[in-house]
A = this chain, B = another copy of it.
Amino acid sequence: MSLVVVGSVAYDGVETPHGKVERMLGGACTYVALAASFFTEAAVVAVVGDDFAQEDTDLLASRGIDLAGLERVPGQTFFWSGVYSPDMNDRTTLRTDLNVFAGFNPKLPEHYRTQPYLLLGNIQPSLQRSVRTQMIAPRLVGGDTMNYWIRETRDDLLEALKTWDFLLVNDAEARQLSGQHNLRRAAQAIFEMGPQTIVIKRGEYGAVLFRPEGHFIVPGYLLDDVFDPTGAGDSFAGGFFGYVASRGLDIKDQTALPEIRRAVIYGSVMGSFCCEQFGVDRFRTLTRAEIDARFNEFKEFTCF
* Least CB distance, A51 to chain B, in whole angstroms: 37
Instruction: Check A215 for interface membership: any CB of B closer than 8 A.
Output: yes
Instruction: Check A184 for interface membership: any CB of B closer than 8 A.
Output: yes
Instruction: Check A208 for interface membership: any CB of B closer than 8 A.
Output: yes
Query: Of the 9-residue stretches A65-73, A103-111, A131-139, A294-302, which lies at the interface with chain B?
Result: A294-302
Q: Which residue of B lies closest to A17 (CB)?
A: B181
C-alpha spacing A223/B304, complex, angstroms: 21
Of B181, B208, B214, B304, the contact of A261 (CB 8 Å cutoff): B304
Q: Which residues of B contact A181 (CB under 8 A)?
A: 86-87
- Within A185-219, the residues touching B (CB, 8 Å) are 185, 202, 205-206, 208, 214-219
* Least CB distance, A24 to chain B, in whole angstroms: 24
C-alpha spacing A304/B266, complex, angstroms: 12
Q: Given A205-B202, A208-B222, check contact A216 B304 (CB 8 Å).
A: yes
Query: Residue-by-residue, is A210-241 near B (CB-CB < 8 Å gives 1, otherwise 0)?
Result: 00001111110011111000000000000000
Contact B183 A206 (CB under 8 A): no
Contact B224 A301 (CB under 8 A): no
Contact A214 B301 (CB under 8 A): yes
Q: Which residues of B contact A208 (CB under 8 A)?
A: 219, 222
Instruction: Check A95 for interface membership: any CB of B closer than 8 A.
Output: no
Q: Which residues of B contact A36 (CB under 8 A)?
A: none
Contact B222 A219 (CB under 8 A): no
Instruction: Check A258 for interface membership: any CB of B closer than 8 A.
Output: yes
Instruction: Check A262 for interface membership: any CB of B closer than 8 A.
Output: yes
Instruction: Check A303 for interface membership: any CB of B closer than 8 A.
Output: yes
The interface of chain A, by Cβ under 8 A from chain B, is 86-87, 181-185, 202, 205-206, 208, 214-219, 222-226, 258, 261-262, 264-265, 299-304
